[in-house]
A and B are shown apart, each in its own frame.
Chain A
Amino acid sequence: MNHDIYVLGIETSCDETAAAVVKNGKEILSNIVASQMESHKRFGGVVPEIASRHHVEQITFVIEEAMNKAGVSFSQLSAIAVTQGPGLVGALLIGVNAAKALSFAYNIPLVGVHHIAGHIYANRLVAEMKFPLLSLVVSGGHTELVYMEKHGKFQVIGETRDDAAGEAYDKVARALNLPYPGGPHIDRLAQEGKATIDLPRAWLEEGSYDFSFSGLKSAVLNTLHNAKQRGEEIDPKDMAASFQASVIDVLVTKTIQAAKEYHVRQVLLAGGVAANRGLRTELQKQMAKLDNVELVIPPLSLCTDNAAMIAAAGTVLYMQGKRADMALNANPGLELE
């Protein structure tokens, strides 16, 4: 490559307004995130209409910050990559329309990016990808095992049939009266407690890489409810530890199985739940038993929603010739292909 590729990424699929500039798909020049978490805390969860309103307030400012911090001009941009879906439709629309306006104003090629492709490509900002690879994507909205044989080609080999792991975390956290967002609190409590409570693990059919967490969630709620009826007390630390052990057991076991079956060279952890200490530790432990398979876990700031990951994925798609036009739309139910 004799000239550098600069890509501006824009991400507004949920409650973070984010923009970033990435060089050659690997080097972060800026990665700006305006977090609305404090606002949504008031409601105990993300309110779509409020999220959309905040995105409009922040969008141009965040993009400007990203451009300034990167020290890059519009004419230097090879492409603009924007999250097209999945996510909250009203929220996605802000990023998509801002990206289109900017693309039009300076005649910059536009690329639509799948949010999960972004999460996976966050890893490329840490280490070069080695194919074939397997990515475990775990976040508030997703629990998926994605197999990649080469750049830009995604094959979902397993996904959740009901709740995403992150959703189960939030619901269990609420039952334990932990503040929003609950995931990090459960992770913290789990470190202090013991996995003494017997909870189910949904393995599903033999050979399936799909997940299911609603049974586990119900089991937690029932156990808490029954104990309360009997006037017994359950230590929230032990419940957190038991719940987390069940989730992690299933996630890690299926990931290892798939890594073996597909003979991958690399396993990538992706998505907000990748910040979970329990998951990181267990995955590292089990992966150490596999020969010649590298495990990559991005730093926390790249696991949660950000735009550098969208720019990283967008760079690859741009190089492969993918383009969007002015009719690009937000697609809340976009499939990863």
Chain B
Amino acid sequence: MKILAIDTSNVVMGIALVEDDVVKGEITTNIKKDHSTRVMPAVQSLMKHCGVTPQELDLIAVARGPGSYTGVRIGVTIAKTLAWSLNIPIVGVSSLEVLAANGRYFSGAISPFFDARRGQIYTGLYRYNGTELECIKHDRIVLAEEWASELKARKEAVLFIGTDVALYKNIFQRHLGEYSHFAPAALQLPRPSELAFLGKKKEREDAHAFVPNYIRLAEAEAKWLAKQEGENKHGDGYSISIHDVK
């Protein structure tokens, strides 16, 4: 079984080609350059090096967020278009879960996170149960301070993983003291091969209906919904009409 994995949900861009239990190849960058011009060339190059054609793929795995709205949409758009056009299944994996996978040999809880600006982070809490990665607190957006004090109450070791560690290390250390552990640089980047292996176990989804997990509503939509609630009206009064205008 050949799996192509794509993660463009955050600054780190990752592409992997996995065949059965073997990682055939990976491309990972951690630079602040736009994904749109680089993802498809990376996919093309990796598959060429590995001698695999698009028609030989069996599954597309994609990091579906949370992360940068634009970033996650680029990966999801490519993934669902490939899956639909090649007539193969698509699976989505939480971008945080992929990152948490780097904590495989850590015995405590794992908190993968991405900076979400203004003191907020996207995070969740995970743990390895043998070889299985389990989610113990679902993905959310939360103030780093709030998250740190919530974790402190658990009185257990926590491994923080992410490229934005420098921004929040002080906060986590202040709240958790010796319970806080930080992944070294080489383990801070989500690995696209982990995305492929996690994806293998997820439920297959319909490519057409596949959408990112933004965690948050678009700002305009949230405001609009709040206003509707204030006026006691119904929330989702719109539809998208599709026509053949030929």
- Residues of A that sit less than 8 Å from B by CB: 28-36, 38-39, 41-43, 47, 49-50, 52-54, 56-65, 69, 74, 90, 93-94, 96-98, 100-102, 104-106, 301-302, 306, 308, 325-330
Contact = CB atoms under 8 A, between A and B. Distances in A.
Name the 8 nearest CB pairs between A and B, nearest first.
A101-B81, A326-B40, A301-B245, A38-B238, A49-B218, A60-B84, A39-B238, A47-B220
Q: Which of A30, A34, A39, A105 has the most CB of B within 10 A?
A: A105
Interface stretch (B99-107, B130-138, B178-186, B206-214): B206-214
Interface string B208-246: 100110100011110010000000000001111111111
A58 B239 CA distance: 12
Contacts of B74: 93, 97
Contact of A94 (B38, B73, B208): B73
Question: Would you call the interface of chain A mostly helix, strand, loop, or mixed?
Answer: helix
B37 A50 contact: no
Contact of A306 (B38, B86, B220, B245): B245
Contacts of A94: 73, 77
Given A97-B78, A98-B77, A301-B245, A54 B212 contact: no
A327 B239 contact: no
Contacts of B239: 38
A264 B243 CA distance: 36
B40 A41 contact: no
Given A28-B246, A97-B40, A58 B240 contact: yes
A309 to B, nearest CB: 11
B224 A102 contact: no
B85 A327 contact: no
B242 A32 contact: yes
Nearest to B70: A90
B110 interface: no
B34 interface: yes
B43 interface: yes
B240 A36 contact: yes
10 contacts: A28-B246, A31-B246, A34-B242, A39-B240, A56-B73, A57-B240, A74-B85, A104-B82, A306-B245, A329-B37
Contact of A34 (B41, B212, B218, B240): B240
Q: Which of B76, B86, B243 has the most CB of A within 10 A?
A: B243
Contacts of B119: none
Given A38-B241, A93-B74, A97-B36, A50 B207 contact: no
A31 B208 CA distance: 19
B174 to A, nearest CB: 34
A49 B238 CA distance: 16
Nearest to A53: B218
A42 B238 contact: yes
A101 B40 contact: yes
B27 to A, nearest CB: 13
Contact of A62 (B37, B40, B220, B242): B242
Interface in B33-70: 34, 36-41, 43-44, 54, 69-70
A32 B80 CA distance: 19
Contacts of A41: 238
A199 B179 CA distance: 73
Given A327-B40, A330-B36, A106 B240 contact: no
Given A32-B244, A327-B41, A61 B208 contact: yes
A56 B76 contact: yes
B73 A105 contact: no
Contacts of A31: 244-246
A90 B73 contact: yes
A179 to B, nearest CB: 14
A331 to B, nearest CB: 10
A58 B242 contact: yes
Contacts of B36: 93, 96-97, 329-330
